[in-house]
Amino acid sequence: MDDPLWLKHWYDRRGPFEAECRRARDELLVDLKQPALAQQRVLADVIDMSAGSVHWKERGYDVVADDPGRFRSVLPVMRYDDFVPEIRNETRTKGGTLTCSPVLRWLKTSGTTGAPKLVPYTLHWLLTYRIPAMKAMWGTYLEYHPELLAHPYATLDTQTVREDVYDFVHGIGHQAISNRHPKVNSRDWNPPWYESPWFGPGVPSSHEGRMYHRIRHLAARDLHYISSINPSTLISLRDILAQRADQLVSDLRAGTLEGRPYTEPDERAARRLAEVLRRPDFTLKDVWPSLTLYTCWLSASASLYAAKLDAVLPGVAKLPFMSCGTEGVTTIPVDDSLHSQPLAVSQAYFEFVPAEVPLGELVESGEQVETLLFDEVEAGRDYHLIMTQGNGLYRLWTGDVYHVDRIVDGTPWVHFVHRDGIFHSFTGEKLTESQVTGAIQRGLRSQGIDAGLYMCGPRWAEPPYYQLVAEVPEPSEQLDRALSAAVDAALHEINIEYASKRDSGRLGALEAFTVRQDAIAAYVESRRQGSNTTQYKYKPFQRDVDFVTALTSRRKGVRT
């Protein structure tokens, strides 16, 4: 039986939510027409929030309060790791160290070394930046697809979740930005479906369990819209429908949810769905003929999912998710452009460095970095992004590289190209070369083997996975299996996003092949002779897995 309280919440919140989202979008549109003013306002706010902090006073950065023009010359460009000592202090003071706002949560995301980062989630950041960004994006979705609020079953939102938190840092929750639980106050993210039975902390926390609950609750409804961040979530939704088709049909027929009484039996819907799910090539549009929209990341590596998404969601309109990370929002969609969005000039103070500049080396050596402001970038070029957020992380080198597509009303429209130093990311796992190297070393060590030459690459399959070839003294299929398991387990530990995607079935297990010593060297040499003789060199991290076939052609058991 439906809980009337969640329905009451939905109807109570529909009007205000729509008004809040449209207002946030309108405010963003105004800022996009006067980006200089918006950037000035953000910088003034950042200075106001941090000039009185312990860190700024200790370092003398508070002098910029009297002269904001000195901001870039006084404060250094920072990496996350440079903030770690201050963050450690902030975990104890819960505000006042990096910025003069209470820290409400620590946001968890993968760090370069494998230890999860602690990104401060402050009250000021929540109220002034993060929630308005979400609302502005939903304002755009509502502008183009108002049907997403047509009724309480119209939207399936997988971009945010509500999960109980069990990880705390000195009393404060350490959780993913996508976990909006518990609600901080009435100004926190509060969409109409916040209390819906498929959205709350009562649903299973496993990816598959949660997905099944979502499907079961919305299976026989006129669903219009599926919201997602990663395209893999949408593919996974279809996979879980296929895997649990019998259970779903049975639950619909009996009016149950995982066998327990839930609602009225619906024989007609069960019969229709059984028929749909019996077809091996069924689409989400077959399951929900009412579907009119889906949203997710569509650029960079996510664009590689385009064909799959078209197959799974034929004829369904799409809109992009904002470009953002745990560290902050960079772009927000304001229209139906799929591959370019305006720089979110009201979200952060942005600086740019041409992509060809070895920014990592400059920052590492502590050299002064010349940066460009939003009105100094040129269309057609790629840039490193440095951003100052209202949560205390100033002049943060994000590692992201953006391409400037065009300039509109003075605001750059950009899209995310790739992450500096990132080896590959199928679905948000963002594996860095150092993480993979560490995992391989650990895996080989577990087998009593010293690391030699190896090559690693991404293999597209359903689900996608990584393949690795490593030189060892005595190759064998038994060693292949042991190494596969050991490296996969190491990556699981080192990169929490990899773990999450592996656990939810969105990534397959890493596959390792052992080859005799010198095999990779010989392969590299053969490539050198076949193509560019002077410039071809050994690169352990490959963009494809051609090397696997070439290196293991005499071995059996290679998945293709």
Partner 1 sequence: MIETKRPPQNTRREIVALPVDGAELALHLWRPRGPAKGAVFYFHGLQSHAGWQWEVGPQFADNDIAFYVLDRRGSGTSGGDRQDLADVDTLMRDYITALEHVRRTIGDEVPLSLFGHCLGGSFMAALMHHPDFTTRYDAVVVCSTWLGKLHATLDEEQRRALAAETSTEPWDPGLRSEDFTDDPRHRHFIDHDDLAVRTLTRRSRAVLLGLEELYLRPRRALPPVPSAYVSGVRDPIVDLDDARAVYRRMTGANGALVQLATDKHYLFFTDFRARLVDWVSTFTLLQGVDRDG
Q: Which residues here bind partner 1, judged by CB under 8 A?
A: 52-54, 57, 89, 92-97, 100-103, 123-124, 127-128, 168, 170-172, 185-187
Cβ of residue 102: shortest distance to partner 1, in angstroms? 4
For residue 145, give the amino acid letter.
H
Cβ of residue 188: shortest distance to partner 1, in angstroms? 9
Q: Which residue has the tokens 């410039």?
A: 535
Burial class (CB in 10 A: 0-12, 13-18, 19+), 558: middle
Residue with Cβ nearer partner 1 (34 or 93): 93
The full DSSP string for 447-504 is TT-----EEEEEE-SSS-EEEEEEEESS--HHHHHHHHHHHHHHHHHH-HHHHHHHHT
Residue with Cβ nearer partner 1 (101 or 323): 101
Backbone dihedral angles phi then psi of residue 345, each to the nearest 5 degrees: -65, -15
Residue with Cβ nearer partner 1 (127 or 274): 127
Residue with Cβ nearer partner 1 (92 or 271): 92
For residue 560, give the amino acid letter.
T
Report the alpha-carbon distance of residue 556 to residue 269 in Å, rounded: 46
Residue with Cβ nearer partner 1 (104 or 345): 104
Tell me the β-bridge partners of 122.
103
The full DSSP string for 112-125 is TTSSPEEEEEEHHH
Cβ of residue 423: shortest distance to partner 1, in angstroms? 36
Cβ of residue 350: shortest distance to partner 1, in angstroms? 23
Residue with Cβ nearer partner 1 (56 or 262): 56
Cβ of residue 286: shortest distance to partner 1, in angstroms? 44
Residue with Cβ nearer partner 1 (90 or 488): 90
Give the neighbor-by-neighbor strand order of the sheet with 117-122.
117-122, 103-109, 172-175, 168-169
Cβ of residue 170: shortest distance to partner 1, in angstroms? 6
Q: What CA–CA distances, in Å, run from 455 to 448, 487, 490, 515, 546?
A: 19, 13, 17, 11, 11
Cβ of residue 507: shortest distance to partner 1, in angstroms? 32
Cβ of residue 66: shortest distance to partner 1, in angstroms? 19
Residue with Cβ nearer partner 1 (170 or 543): 170
Angle, alpha carbons 341-344-349 (nearest 5°): 140
Residue with Cβ nearer partner 1 (59 or 527): 59
Cβ of residue 39: shortest distance to partner 1, in angstroms? 21
Q: What CA–CA distances, in Å, run from 524 to 21, 362, 541, 551?
A: 55, 31, 13, 10
The H-assigned helical ranges of 60-144 are 71-74, 80-93, 123-125, 131-144
Query: Residue 161: helix, strand or coil by DSSP?
Result: strand
Residue with Cβ nearer partner 1 (201 or 259): 201
Element (H, E) at 558: none
Report the alpha-carbon distance of residue 360 to residue 77 in Å, rounded: 10
Cβ of residue 133: shortest distance to partner 1, in angstroms? 16
Residue with Cβ nearer partner 1 (95 or 428): 95
Tally the residues of the chain: 560
Residue with Cβ nearer partner 1 (48 or 143): 48
Cβ of residue 132: shortest distance to partner 1, in angstroms? 12
Residues 6+ apart with CB under 8 A from 289: none
Cβ of residue 63: shortest distance to partner 1, in angstroms? 17
Report the alpha-carbon distance of residue 206 to residue 114 in Å, rounded: 22
CB 393 within 8 A of CB 379: no
CB 345 within 8 A of CB 317: no
